[in-house]
Chains A and B, each alone.
Chain A
Amino acid sequence: MSLTVDAPTGREPGGSVTDPPARDRSRTRRERSRLVQFATWIVATVLVVGPLVPVVWASLWTVPLYDDGGAFTLDNYGDLLSDGAWWTAVGNTVVFAILTTAGALVLGAALAVLLQRVDMPGSRIYRSLVLGPVVLPGLPLMLGWIAMYSPAGYVTSWIERNTPLPIFWNLYSVPGMALVAIGSLTPLMYMVIGSAMSTLDSTLENAARVNGASPLRALFSVTVPMLRPGMLNAGVICMALSLEVVGIPLLLGTSSNIDFISTYLVDNWSNEFPPRQGLVSAGAVMLLGVMTLLLVLRNRFAGDLARFTTTTGKPTASLPITVGRVRWLMSAFVGCYFAITLIIPAIGLFLTAFTTVLTPYIDPWDVATLDNFSTVLENPVFRRSIVNSLLIATIGGALTTLAVTTIALVAHRSSFRYRRSLQYVTLYPRAIPGIVTGMAFFWSFVVIDPNGIVRSSLWGIGLAFAVRSLALGYSAFYPALAALGEDLERAARVSGADWLTAMRTILVRLLRPAMAVSYVLLFVALFADYDPALFMVSPGNEVIGLTMLNLWITGVAGPVAALGIIQLVVTAVVLGTARLVFGRISNG
């Protein structure tokens, strides 16, 4: 045969042992891959864990880190633990967290069972409604809650005026704040429990049916008990989120002087003179410790972190359970839930934004106005907030997506020595409360950038937001990576590609859709985030969320609601566009 695929006697260029340039080239290529892997590890670790070092340092130091001198001390912890206000704040936070977790878990589990397993009218609409609060920014809706249900709110006043019903709730109390939190966390609980439920083997339930159990009986004797690990996991997540919550106590607790851990720290930082920064750092370290413990606990329950990623709307293979006429009752119950937690607050936000004053005593049409929106567009603070948030979301989202991709590839697809630690580093920001992230970056910039050039720029806040969102981007990205067979890059390696080339030409290309999804989620998260900015904000680097929070507290309702609407609309447009584009890709 005269084919050129002859016996491999004529060695191709670069193949022979005795070809020194080829060996050198291969060595440089190998060095290049290692360099990238090592740099990724260093940068990720420094950005995630590094900023926590100055917080711990500040908590153990007599003077703020921006002052000279100082010495080691434990006094900050002593001051904190002997401060009655701290313990009151801890007590409030714990009661709030327990109430919130209990409420959100029960409602979340009920919704998961009703929407995913029971044949109920309207469940399709409900299933899409329930996802809204998970992806849309939470703050605007919370403002809607206040506009409607606070003691002076529209619904409350309306009931007082037109019905003999007693008003049994008060949003400006710990249980009232728990109500708001339940409203915003239940959808998340629904998702976590629902995805645990969809991984259950439906044949188990069928087995109970075959043995004579009625559909409901099978549900409660087989499925519900098996959900216990999922519930436990969801409970720990909910507890952690309730402990670090900032927005709710700032909005609702300030007027009645109810402090939470977060507001206690913020107050002592910015409203005391001189600011008690050592004490605040000590509080932050303790909060961080508790959150880390909760994360460890959760990993115990969840086993594998990757399993608790963003599983959305995975269709269950099991048949829905038919329950006869009760289904109408159930549907009505779920309908009421959505009306109270979602639709009425949304209307509240909308009305606040489009009226000069919202009260049942005046017909909203008489006070309808667009002034709030023109205020937003004319006021430099509002305008800057929008521009800044958009910048952080678009550019920060892109950079974070790149970072997440690189980190995930090094962590899961390289032979780098410390690759395993990288995964934990990336997921750790989940355990770091937003305000602690903010404080951590504040202190870090104080140490490495004493002039405050970065700290007062948008880059500082953007970096803090990005680090905080690493875990989210990673969770969205990882399942797609895990689904790609490793043979694909092995084939590239044996074809002659070094690690970096194999990743670039094969995996990154194949992962583009996952990167896009990751980018959209990061955009939405970064656009809505505000917690870390509490400690970093200065004129010029405001972001939407914080501006809304600060101005609402000072009593500016209308323009803030208008800003909230703008935030919601931008987010919805981004999500909708993404859905359209990706839907088309997956269909074609």
Chain B
Amino acid sequence: MAELSITSLGKSFGDVRALDSVTIVAEEGKLLTLLGPSGCGKSTTLWSVAGLHTPDTGTISIGDRVVYDAERRVEVPPEDRQCGVVFQSYAIWPHMSVADNVGYPLKLRKVAKAERRNRIEEVLALVELDHLGGRYPHELSGGQQQRVALARSLAYQPRLLLLDEPFSNLDAKLRERARDWLRDLQQRVGITTVFVTHDQDEALSMSDRVVVMNAGRVAQIGTPEEVYGDPADGFVADFVGSINLVPGEIVRVDGDDADFVVEGTSDPVRVRVDGGARVGPGRLGVRPEAIAIVGEGDADRLGTVRGIALEHRFLGDHYRQTIGVGNARVSVQTPLASIPEHPVLRFPDVCKVFPASTDQQPRPSVPTPQETP
């Protein structure tokens, strides 16, 4: 059963298509993340759900209630959509105490005073701020303000929780803790949640499902594992985690296997592509941690290629080696700084080959209507 379903949402600002046939279904009780670079339309989508933005086309329903339908001219105002929203700026009202902030939605719903007080206490306890109800926003830290915003959005039991980059104003350490804490809270409360972020770590670690967006379109929808392990296109592969997109050419396809020649080299590398690959130029997508540096003994095996160690960088828990292979510079993750001068690289068993041109959408794995540009 779908708690939120967005169908063919479109929005243009002049000639710019901010949203292009965006279709997303968020399952009840799950956390769905909209992930993408700034300007990809993720916040526009979220705000359209909240009723703070009016799209041009499409429909939005929350549960069995249609809140927006361009054709039938249905547009429920934000106050009647029952969405709890946490804003990037938190938007806590500075003239009200923490308890008044949290109690505001209840007051509007004419909840009796005693019940309201109980409810405020309950929600503040939920976000671990039960002792701070009398404080004013300027007396709170950034992390506490964020939790007030969350408490306020949950106070009246909304049908949906919408979070717009809620962690972007927190420092790195706090952000990591807030992430775990929010995920835990969301699962306890069991509220359908849509979360907007440009931070892939956040998206991968918190979500039940991730929607990767690019230039107003949905590029891929899937579990974090799917989006990371099986990116639909070069954009998703590049945006979610880091990946080497090694230019070259497929010279032979044999069922699930293909021979790929890295640009500037002559010997083909045998990789598994799981079908779909065609002979011709392309980019081999491999994640740095999926490439192994093997001993000289394995040099002649299929799926290996020799390179030149160029430089390395220390990244705390690992080293990032840059290795020249033909014309390409390939990043490889290693536990130690020292590697042979001419290391032998072994690509993973299953690789993906993306079309040569950048940022196109070659193999639509998403049920979105594709248009040729």
Interface membership of B209, Cβ < 8 A: no
Known A494-B52, A495-B104, A497-B108; contact A8-B95, beta-carbon cutoff 8 A = no
Residues from chain A with Cβ under 8 Å of B80 in the complex: 26, 496
* Distance (whole angstroms) from the CB of A114 to the closest CB of chain B: 39
Q: A7 with B78: in contact, given A487-B89, A494-B50, A496-B105 (CB under 8 Å)?
A: no
- The answer on a CB contact under 8 Å between A494 and B154 is no
Tell me the count of chain B residues lying within 8 A, CB to CB, of chain A: 48
> Shortest CB–CB separation between residue A416 and chain B, in angstroms?
13
Q: Specify the chain A residue showing the minimal Cβ separation from B119.
A: A4
B158 touches A3 (CB 8 A): no
Stretch at the interface among B5-13, B183-191, B251-259, B286-294: B183-191
Q: Are A498 and B126 in contact (CB under 8 A)?
A: no
CA of A14 to CA of B105 in the docked complex: distance in angstroms?
Answer: 12
Which among A1, A485, A494 has the highest number of chain B CB atoms within 10 Å? A494
- Which residues from B are CB-within-8-Å of A494? 50-52, 78-79, 81, 83-85, 153, 162
Given contacts A26-B80, A490-B85, A497-B108, contact A3 B52 (CB under 8 A): no
Are A7 and B152 closer than 8 Å at their CB atoms? no
Report how far A490 CA is from B49 CA in the complex, Å. 13
B64, B91, B191: which contacts A491 (Cβ < 8 A)? B91
Find chain A residues with CB under 8 A from B104 CB.
492, 495, 497, 505
Are the C-beta atoms of B159 and A8 separated by less than 8 Å? yes
Nearest B residue to A4 via CB reads B122
Residues from chain B with Cβ under 8 Å of A13 in the complex? 109-110
Please state if B158 and A510 are interface contacts (CB–CB under 8 Å): no
Can you name the residue of chain A whose Cβ is closest to the Cβ of B50?
A494
Indicate if the CB atoms of B152 and A495 lie closer than 8 Å: yes
Q: How far is the CA of A509 from the CA of B94 in the complex (A)?
A: 10
Q: Cβ of B351 < 8 Å from any Cβ of A? A: no
- B87 sits at the interface (CB 8 A): yes
- A339 close to B (CB within 8 Å): no
User: Shortest beta-carbon distance, B113 to chain A, in Å?
Assistant: 15
A487 / chain B contacts, CB cutoff of 8 Å: 87-91
Instruction: Tell me whether B156 and A495 are in contact (CB under 8 A).
Output: yes
Query: Does residue A73 face the partner (Cβ distance < 8 Å to B)?
Result: no
Within 8 A of B (CB), among A491-535: 491-498, 501, 505-506, 509-510
Q: Please give the distance in Å from A398's CB to the nearest CB on chain B.
A: 21
Set B29, B93, B109, B159: member contacting A510, Cβ < 8 A: B93
Tell me if A12 counts as interface (CB < 8 A to partner B): yes
8 A Cβ contacts from B161-186 to A: 162
B70-103: CB near A (< 8 Å → 1, else 0) gives: 0000000111111111011111111100000000
Alpha-carbon distance between A565 and B265 when the two chains are bound, in angstroms: 94
Chain B residue at smallest Cβ distance from A494 = B85
- B157: Cβ under 8 A from any A Cβ: yes
B79 touches A498 (CB 8 A): yes
Given known contacts A17-B64, A494-B52, A3 and B108 CB-to-CB distance under 8 angstroms: no
Which residues of A sit under 8 angstroms from B89, Cβ to Cβ? Answer: 485, 487
A6: interface (CB < 8 Å): yes
Partner of A5, one of B64, B152, B189: B189
CB of B188 within 8 A of CB of A3, answer yes
In the complex where A8-B191, A496-B109, A498-B79 touch, is A491 in contact with B152 (Cβ < 8 A)? yes
Inter-subunit contact A496/B77 (CB<8 Å): no
Enumerate B278-335 residues with CB–CB distance to A below 8 Å: none
Is B123 in the interface zone, CB < 8 Å from A? yes
Residues of B with C-beta under 8 A to A485:
89, 91
Decide if B87 touches A12 in the complex (CB within 8 Å): no
Q: Most B CB atoms within 10 A — which of A15, A29, A491?
A: A491
Query: CB distance A3 to B91 under 8 Å?
Result: no
What is the size category of the interface that chain A forms with chain B?
A: 20 to 34
- B138 at interface, CB cutoff 8 A: no
Inter-chain contacts of A480 with B (CB < 8 A): none
B156 contact from A29, A488, A493, A496, Cβ within 8 A: A496
Q: Which residue of chain A has the shortest Cβ distance to B90 in the bound complex? A: A487
Q: Residue B135 at the A interface, CB < 8 A? A: no
The reply to whether the CB of B65 lies closer than 8 angstroms to some CB of chain A is yes
Docked pose: A26 CA to B75 CA in angstroms: 12
User: Does A300 belong to the interface (CB within 8 Å)?
Assistant: no
Contact partner of B157 (CB less than 8 A), chosen from A12, A29, A509, is: A12
Selected from A7, A488, A493, A510, the residue in CB contact (under 8 A) with B79 is A493
Give min CB distance, B183 to chain A, whole Å: 14
**Residues in A whose Cβ lies below 8 Å from that of B105:** 495-496
Known: A8-B157, A12-B157, A496-B79. A488 touches B93 (CB 8 A): yes
- With A487-B89, A494-B51 in contact, do A6 and B190 touch (Cβ < 8 Å)? yes
Q: Would you give the shortest CB distance from A344 to chain B, in whole angstroms? A: 48
**B188→A1 contact, CB < 8 A:** yes
The smallest C-beta distance from A20 to any residue of chain B, in angstroms, reads: 13
Residue A30 CB within 8 A of the other chain: yes
- Contact pick for B108, options A4, A30, A491, A496, CB 8 Å: A496
Inside 8 A of B110's CB, which chain A residues have their CB? Answer: 13
Nearest chain A residue, comparing its CB with the CB of B187: A1
Q: In the complex, what distance in Å separates the CA atom of A485 from the CA atom of B90?
A: 11
The reply to whether B77 and A26 form a contact with Cβ atoms under 8 Å apart is yes
| 8 Å CB interface, A460-495 against B | 485, 487-488, 490-495
Taking CB atoms, residues of chain B closer than 8 Å to A26 are 77, 79-80
Partner pick for A490 among B78, B84, B154, B190, CB 8 A cutoff: B78
Q: Which residues of B contact A498 (CB under 8 A)?
A: 77, 79
Collect the chain A residues with CB atoms within 8 Å of residue B189's CB: 3, 5-7
Are the CB atoms of B91 and A7 closer together than 8 Å? no
When chains A and B are docked, how far (Å) is the Cα of A509 from the Cα of B104? 14
CB-defined contacts of A497 to chain B, threshold 8 Å: 79, 104, 108
CA distance A1 to B156 in the complex (A): 18
Are A490 and B123 interface neighbours, CB within 8 A?
Answer: no
Contact assessment for B77 and A5 in the assembled complex, using a CB-CB cutoff below 8 Å: no
Contacts of B88 in A (CB 8 A): 487
User: Roughly how many angstroms separate A5 CA and B158 CA in the complex, as a whole number?
Assistant: 10
**C-alpha spacing A26/B51, complex, angstroms:** 14
Q: Assess the A14–B64 pair: CB atoms within 8 A.
A: no
- Selected A-B contacts with CB under 8 Å, 5 pairs: A26-B80, A485-B89, A494-B83, A495-B105, A496-B80
User: Which A-B residue pairs are the 10 nearest by beta carbons?
Assistant: A487-B91, A495-B105, A491-B91, A7-B190, A493-B78, A496-B108, A487-B87, A494-B85, A17-B65, A5-B189
Q: Which residues of B are interface residues toward A (Cβ below 8 A)?
A: 28-29, 50-52, 64-65, 77-85, 87-95, 104-105, 108-110, 119, 122-123, 126, 149, 152-154, 156-159, 162, 188-192
New contact pairs (13) apart from A3-B126, A490-B85, A496-B156, CB-CB < 8 Å = A3-B188, A6-B157, A6-B190, A7-B29, A8-B192, A15-B82, A17-B65, A26-B77, A491-B85, A493-B52, A494-B81, A495-B156, A510-B94
